[in-house]
Amino acid sequence: MDETAASLRVNGGEGVWARAVAVETGIRVASCYQCLRCSNSCPVSTFMDIKPHQVVRLVQLGQREALLQASSIWVCLSCEMCSTYCPNEIDVAGLMNHLKNAVISSHREPAEYEIAAFHDVFLRVLREHGRINDLQLMQRYRLKTLMHGQAPSREELVSEASLAWDLFRRGRLRFLPEKSAAAREIRRILEDYGHKKVSS
């Protein structure tokens, strides 16, 4: 039995899932000793229902349902501060990403649909052009959330129109997307990273 399996002796299906996460991601969750450095370094942990160190602990315990229903995984900015500060080199950010993909693969409703939709549209625009076009990003995001039955409030529309006007005045708003010379390389990185689509 390898080191990861030996450290994850949780009874029943929980142990199987915990081991599968460790094997699929290559992330050594069993090494976590709950020092909290990941949560203390996380810029948005205050807004999370389950803090980064608790996410790692719940993965160790095989608490799949609790994790897939958590809003934390969508609040996560993928800034990698947690992974950088972990003394055991546990890739907590990678774990968050794995959990996002697990929600999408299992066709569940993400706990934070609007964040998940923005995340999905952002990566799709990036994958297509290798860079972000703000106008296209917001059009697709609004269409996706509308199809999901979530209409923007008047305040949101006014705020977005004001931001678009400000960008336009400063010559920062491109009406047509431009393709980056590195688009193919960016697409390859996204495929390696495992971007999955959030359905409407």
Q: What is the binding site for ligand SF4 (CB under 6 A)?
A: 32-38, 41-42, 44, 52-53, 56, 76-82, 86-88, 90, 92-93, 96
**Core vs surface per residue 133-161: b (16+ CB within 10 A) or e:** bebbbeebbbebbeeeeeeeeeeeeeeee
Q: Residue 115 or 183: which CB sits closer to ligand SF4?
A: 115
In contact, 8 and 15? CB cutoff 8 Å? yes
Smallest gap from Cβ 42 to ligand SF4, in A, equals 3
Q: Which residue has the tokens 């949560």?
A: 39
Smallest gap from Cβ 131 to ligand SF4, in A, equals 22
Q: Residue 41 or 133: which CB sits closer to ligand SF4?
A: 41
Q: Phi-psi category of 133—alpha, beta or left, where left has phi over 0 and alpha has psi -120 to 50?
A: beta
d(CA 93, CA 81): 8
d(CA 45, CA 71): 11
Q: Residue 46 or 106: which CB sits closer to ligand SF4?
A: 46
Smallest gap from Cβ 166 to ligand SF4, in A, equals 27
Smallest gap from Cβ 181 to ligand SF4, in A, equals 28
Smallest gap from Cβ 60 to ligand SF4, in A, equals 9
Q: Residue 89 or 178: which CB sits closer to ligand SF4?
A: 89
Q: Residue 81 or 126: which CB sits closer to ligand SF4?
A: 81
**Core vs surface per residue 100-116: b (16+ CB within 10 A) or e:** bbbbbeeeeebbbbebb
In contact, 54 and 88? CB cutoff 8 Å? no
